[in-house]
């Protein structure tokens, strides 16, 4: 499977992209802004091709998300992680609507708006993340290769 984040715009604090699964539109992505040099918690990850994996670690964030996400239906075990990102660790897919909800992670959203300040803000992220995990997680559990390609179309 090939998943792409086709970044199409950014503001001073945020970026917006279109998430495609096997070249079919799936959702939007909200993430941090681009920077030439990384600033912890304030920089989106670099464009490139990465493998996805499962981070089988009971970190505080994982435990928190397990409690939050599994209220009505158990679908979240561990985070889907983007592997081997230079200068970054623990880059996950999780819910969130604005760049303030991430430190470099990817946040799928079914809705996307642009604020009057020119920043990207998402909506219906919980459902987008849930469906993303239902599609991708079983493949990773079965040791199938899942590639994540990030394209900067907003430069």
User: pLDDT tens for residues 115-142?
Assistant: 999 999 999 999 999 999 999 999 999 9
Q: Which residue, among 49, 136, 37, 133, has the nearest Cα to 85 in the 3D structure?
A: 49
pLDDT, averaged across the chain: 95
Whole-prediction pTM value? 0.94
| Cα 58 to Cα 62, 79, 87, distances in angstroms | 6, 10, 22
- What domain count does the chain have? 1
Q: What does the block give as tokens for 131? A: 């469906």
Structural domain range at position 77:
2-152
């Amino acid at each position: 499977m090939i998943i792409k984040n086709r970044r199409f715009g950014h503001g001073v604090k945020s970026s917006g992209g279109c998430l495609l699964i096997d070249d079919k539109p799936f959702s939007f992505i909200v993430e941090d802004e681009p920077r030439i040099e990384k600033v912890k918690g304030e920089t989106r990850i670099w464009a490139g091709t990465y493998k996805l994996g499962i981070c089988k670690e009971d970190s505080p964030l994982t435990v928190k998300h397990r409690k939050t996400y599994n209220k009505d239906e158990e679908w979240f075990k561990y985070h889907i992680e983007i592997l081997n990102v230079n200068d970054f660790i623990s880059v996950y897919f999780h819910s969130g609507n604005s760049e303030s909800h991430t430190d470099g992670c990817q946040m799928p959203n079914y809705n996307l708006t642009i604020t009057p300040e020119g920043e990207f803000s998402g909506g219906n992220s919980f459902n987008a993340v849930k469906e993303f995990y239902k599609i991708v997680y079983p493949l990773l559990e079965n040791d199938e290769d899942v590639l994540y390609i990030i394209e900067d179309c907003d430069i």
